[in-house]
Chain A
């Protein structure tokens, strides 16, 4: 897909995020908006997936380890044709397929049930290991949060990924610098996260602007490094695309009201 078209898709997904969180009166816009460009790049340009044959055993897999960013995944899956926008009305509502956190039993296109931070990356490592074991040619992608990276499990999984030489795995860090109770540095500093990823045996690519579609694409399309799992460090902005949400901790888990949603949708036109 053309760069301009991808950028347009990203704007559409951002509008979906606003629409569904506003309608539900709940959800996590901040961390959804920061990883939108990566998800759009993956589903429209990088991953080998097909909504017409969504259970194809050889399809590439995606695990949203930071499961609270479900609105970004739902928007992307909808734009890609896995289900219709009418589902947005039932986001976080009783009997909806769009649960508060991605549910593999309910939502088409979802490869793992997540929401308990730290577990998704570990499941992704298992998928990549299982793919190697069975000779499945798929590649496994996972998006993790920086706050999430405080979980020990993230590093247990990373150690295993390097140990088993999982070059069919790409871990994408949505480094927006924030979590719930404040910035990473206020809550629990991550230190030099890039050096840590390198020390754990990843082939690391740092992307200066993780919300720039071209830069994200270049990193995702870089040839694999044989024998090493890949780690893409995306420097992102929490709330990206909505002026009053950008860089604001308070928009982690709060939905916009009708007026705020209208303003946000206006900013995201086109």
Chain B
């Protein structure tokens, strides 16, 4: 099926089989391998991307369902190569080690903080329960998210 979508601000026209997931489409057809896949059934969160502002599982969304949509992957968070305030906070707090889970955590938190820059620590923890990290422990990740709230409160899209 022919689809047209915008990925990280760039238009993409593709021909995909209906069974292709959005995550596979991003990785294989568009070469955007920052989006990771592990469980492929919604449990681990590694594949999370942003579709029309909402964080979604790339492994549970069909590419054809993103027809006409605006998709943001981890590659699209930092527009001009500089780290976003959220990414900066991850670096400062050592909120990643191997980085496998990080793309999905950044996209999830970016959507969450954009939706609600005042989100409280308990909700951040609840949301992060949907992203499995086997390296760092979650405390630095929560701390990074809490610190990044200030940048989202200042308005605008801190990712741009």
Q: Do A and B bind each other?
A: no
